[in-house]
Amino acid sequence: MDSKIPNARWFRVIVPIMIACIISFMDRVNISFALPGGMESDLAITSQMAGLAGGIFFIGYLFLQVPGGRIAVHGSGRKFIAYSLAVWAVVSILTGFVTNHYQLLFLRFVLGVSEGGMLPVVLTMVSNWFPEREIGRANAFVMMFAPIGGMFTAPLSGFIINALDWRWLFFLEGSLSAVVLIMWWFVISDRPEEAKWLSAKERDYLVTELSRERAERMLDAPVTNAPLKAVFLNKGLMKLVALNFFYQTGDYGYTLWLPTILKNLTGGNMASVGILAILPFIATTAGIYAISTLSDRTGKRRLLIMISLFCFAAGLVTSVIFRHDVLISYLALVVCGFFLKAATSPFWSIPGRIAVPEVAGGARGVINGLGNLGGFCGPYLVGVMIFFYGQSAAVCMLAGSLIIAGLITLTLPKECDVEVNTQAKGAAGKGVIKVKRA
């Protein structure tokens, strides 16, 4: 990008979106610390029920996926996220008052419904603000909400549970949603045309560049303006749904059971588990940055997604093979952390390559919603596998799911990749990305 173009959008758009996403992640996964931190014993929850409580979130998560993406395209993603933050605060605080697993399951389901539209909304908002040659890095920053949220959630949750109890974990972390709601409402804007804080030069650049790219996609994208059923009939988009399903099975199976795995591995208290859980999430941040940078520089999105998934699976298997060696097993879990979200930036850059914006918003919702049913299957199946076969079998099941996701990547269309023209002028050394035709 031309160095003379202001970059206010990187701070005024990406930072608020990241903060809102971090809060959503915190409310989503704090149960993974609450369960081994006293909730299981207080509510008499088995590993099967714990897996169901962790996974039922993603059943509710399905409902607002497509509406959320369409609202971001045709309405206001800003208002959608604001309403969501209010619900997150109420539901999280109420979770601190539960007295049985039925109440817990209901509130986890409601939390899933309220968070369901978040990712397609914020990804569509990002696509409204960043041209193609910046979208990979912009998505990468947004996707860092998971590891950054993990870095905060792990030690904070461990400390709160150790100092108070698991109920206060939900009271305090739920209150953060209300605080972030105020910030969100007064800071964020849906589109460059609506941002009063944006300079005329930056606004003109964004409007011109984004309009040009949209016009090109209208001519070249395999999917054009069409009813939602066109998304389901598009083989490329449906492959992304399947890939995301198996990916999220491994992703959330690992994420929601990591504190329990670490507690069983080390025998430590929740404070020490919280500290140990930091390093895998630090590694996740490094993985997102490394793979997203390679994706933007090389354009080989399919290859990088596949490598990330296979390496994630290898780390899980290694942690099982060396389960009697605490250090090696822990380091293998850290390697898993590196590749945990590494594929997300190149993955979420793909829908915009094979769908115009009017369809891409809904397509992201379909991909994220149906794909994230794996977020239910992963935690639930881990709980079932632990109950019947033990922790090692459960971890190997997650590895198998990731391998399937990696194999699906091989079948994605060539349009998912991009050709990088490093000789183009005006790119300031960054390279201009062009669509690679089949």
Average pLDDT score, the chain:
83
Q: Categorize the per-residue pLDDT at 210 as very low, low, confident or very high, splitting at 50, 70 and 90.
A: confident
Compare 227 and 179 and report the one with higher pLDDT. Answer: 179
Q: Categorize the per-residue pLDDT at 98 as very low, low, confident or very high, splitting at 50, 70 and 90.
A: very high
Q: List Cβ<8 Å contacts ≥24 apart for 266-271.
A: 266/326, 266/330, 269/162, 270/33, 270/36, 270/37, 270/157, 270/158, 270/161, 270/162, 271/158, 271/159, 271/161, 271/162
Per-residue model confidence (pLDDT) at position 228: 64
At position 127, the amino acid (one-letter code) is: S
Per-residue model confidence (pLDDT) at position 304: 92
CB 190 within 8 A of CB 78: yes
CB 427 within 8 A of CB 133: yes
**pLDDT tens track for 177-207:** 999 999 998 888 888 888 888 888 888 888 8
Per-residue model confidence (pLDDT) at position 305: 93
CA distances from 142 to 14, 122, 147 (A): 7, 8, 11
- CA angle 84–370–346, rounded 5-degree value: 85
Residues 6+ apart with CB under 8 A from 166: 33, 34, 37, 38, 39, 42
109 pLDDT above the threshold of 90 = yes
Burial of 400 (0-12, 13-18, 19+ CB in 10 A): middle
The arithmetic mean of pLDDT across residues 221-238, rounded, is 64
Per-residue model confidence (pLDDT) at position 32: 87
The alpha carbon of 384 is separated from its chain's Cα centroid by a whole number of angstroms, namely 24
Compare 364 and 79 and report the one with higher pLDDT. Answer: 79
420 pLDDT above the threshold of 70 = no
Per-residue model confidence (pLDDT) at position 73: 66
423 pLDDT above the threshold of 50 = no
Domains of the chain: 8-435 (1.20.1250.20)
CA distances from 277 to 48, 142, 181, 261, 364 (A): 23, 21, 27, 10, 30
- In this structure, the chain runs to a length of 438
Per-residue model confidence (pLDDT) at position 110: 93
CA distances from 244 to 85, 108, 169, 238, 422 (A): 25, 22, 30, 10, 31
The Cβ of residue 46 has, within 10 Å, a number of other Cβ atoms equal to 14
**pLDDT tens track for 64-78:** 766 766 776 677 888
The arithmetic mean of pLDDT across residues 388-400, rounded, is 90
| 87-101, 136-150, 331-345, range with the lowest pLDDT | 136-150
Percent of the chain whose pLDDT exceeds 90? 26
**pLDDT tens track for 286-345:** 998 898 888 878 888 889 999 999 999 999 999 999 988 889 999 999 999 999 989 988
CB 370 within 8 A of CB 62: yes
